[in-house]
Structure 1
Amino acid sequence: MSGLIVRHLSAGYSKRQVIRDLSLPAVPPGTLLGLLGPNASGKSTLLRAIAGQGRSSGRIRLDDEDLNLLSHAKRATLVGYLPQSLPGTTSLVAYEAVMAACRAVQPNFQTDAVEDAIESTFDDLGIGHLALERMSHLSGGQRQMVGLAQVLVRRPKLLLLDEPTSALDLRWQLSVISAVRRMLEQTGAVGVIAIHDINLAIRTCDQLAVLDRGEIIASGPAANVITPDVIAQAYGVSSRVETCSRGIPFVLADRALG
């Protein structure tokens, strides 16, 4: 089966196991899967494990490739991983930072091809005006956009994004998600995004998976996943799930439980 398959995955940090025997629903090509759940539920650990960072056990397949059997260099060409940490405040300008990131993973890219890809990615994200700005002069949100460009420019087959909208205002949040979805549609890649905004995830993701204490407690289309019971279990919050005029569900959180 093509797409992303994760089965019986366990991972953690040092001697602390965070996720245990976790399996995701199969994620077909062109699909964006949203990971929801409270802090410390395992979203970042899951993304790190799929990216091949840290110790983990289990089965991770992307199309016909077993990612755990690949070299680090080969895996990096297939998987684009954006962690929560922002790109550093170096003296490089944004264009150079994206060029360096691309060259580090795919050194055989022809210069003209890299330059065209960078220009296209900056335009797609709406950050062309930042290309010649030094990274040290950019805001946190702007550096987050450049970090995303460093991943998108390579057109990976699997895109792993850990809170890519956390430092962004509403307009740029929508811009980021739109750019990611366009890339998935154009390339047939798979996207997995950890996100805190439940309503943004409902509107923009094809599938959702809710984590709680290292386990998947609900997964599938938003209409099946986002229920008051699931939200209460994961977040400890009493809520209502309403429907807007376009027929899209949205969550209204009323109060903390307990």
Structure 2
Amino acid sequence: MLLQGVTAGYRNRRVIEGFDLPALPPGTLLGLLGQNAAGKSTLLRGIAGLGRASGTIALDGVSLPALSAARRAALVGYLPQSLPSPSPLVAYEAVLSACRAVRGDLSHAQAEAAIARAFQNLGITHLALRRMSELSGGQRQMVGLAQVMVREPKLLLLDEPTSALDLRWQLSVVQAVRDAVRASGAIGIVAIHDINLAIRACDQVAVLAKGRLLAAGPPAQVVTPDVLAESFGVASRVEACSQGVPVVLVDRALSVV
């Protein structure tokens, strides 16, 4: 995955300017960090082809903007912050519909097998025959993730996939996404607010501040008090837990100058 000179935003406003990210090898999960309005969602939408974007956006040497909408959708799976609607469909039907919309090449048996894998990997098989209108927000978010993962895209773009989930399901989701990209050789980019979860689960992190890339690389190298002060406006410490994993402890908010 290669992102160079990427600019993204809206008709009258640029949010991301000249974004350059070191090439991501297959099987990488990248955590996208930054405070609200830093540009995380705008960047993901631009990469997905759902928002205005320019610059080099390439996957396996192929320019994504040069592809047809159908071909791009087959390669890129995008999960927005908004939850799937509480429709009368059961969860299985909602995921089957998403699969059929993009993976018309799959036979009925192959589609069923892909759905079964997605539900099993996310630990939501018990929700398969529940109506979407009966599910909680967190459960619908899990089904939304299944709608993306069932297509087995080469690039996963997930915008705050853990926002409506409790601690157990946050860990389950990130673990499932990490396992999926490693097993398939895909690339995952996940916008996430929980810095400690990103440190623990992601291979690399990229920190945004005011629409530009502040730092990128392995979490232990990137997540420092200086970077957190500039990106989030907080005074913090980075210490090691009993297992040797870095942990961010926030002491106070810094004064706005």
Please indicate the TM-score interval, normalised by the length of the shorter structure. Answer: over 0.9
What displacement does 1:56 show? 1.1
1: CA distance between counterparts of 2:103 and 2:120? 21
2:88 to 70, 91, 97: 91
1:55 to 10, 28, 52: 52
What displacement does 1:245 show? 1.7
What displacement does 1:85 show? 0.6
2:249 to 243, 248, 252: 252
Corresponding residue SS for 2:8: strand
Structure 1: 5+ residue stretches without partners: none
1:64 aligned onto 2:61: yes
What displacement does 1:224 show? 1.2
Q: Return the TM-score normalized by structure 1.
A: 0.97
1:28 aligned onto 2:25: yes
Equivalence for 1:162: 159
Aligned residue type for 1:196: H
Equivalence for 2:7: 10
1: CA distance between counterparts of 2:182 and 2:19? 27
- Give matches, 1:90-169, under 5 Å: 90-169=87-166
Corresponding residue SS for 2:21: coil
Q: Return the TM-score normalized by structure 2.
A: 0.98
Percent identity between matched residues is: 65
Structure 2: 5+ residue stretches without partners: none
Q: Alpha carbon RMSD of aligned pairs, Å?
A: 0.7
What displacement does 1:14 show? 2.4
Corresponding residue SS for 1:23: strand
Aligned residue type for 2:100: R
2: CA distance between counterparts of 1:51 and 1:72? 10
Corresponding residue SS for 2:5: strand
What displacement does 1:237 show? 0.5
Cα deviations across residues 198-220 of structure 1 (Å, max 9, x unaligned)? 00000000001000110011111
1: CA distance between counterparts of 2:188 and 2:199? 15
Q: Tell me the matched-pair count.
A: 255
2: CA distance between counterparts of 1:20 and 1:120? 39
Aligned residue type for 1:194: A
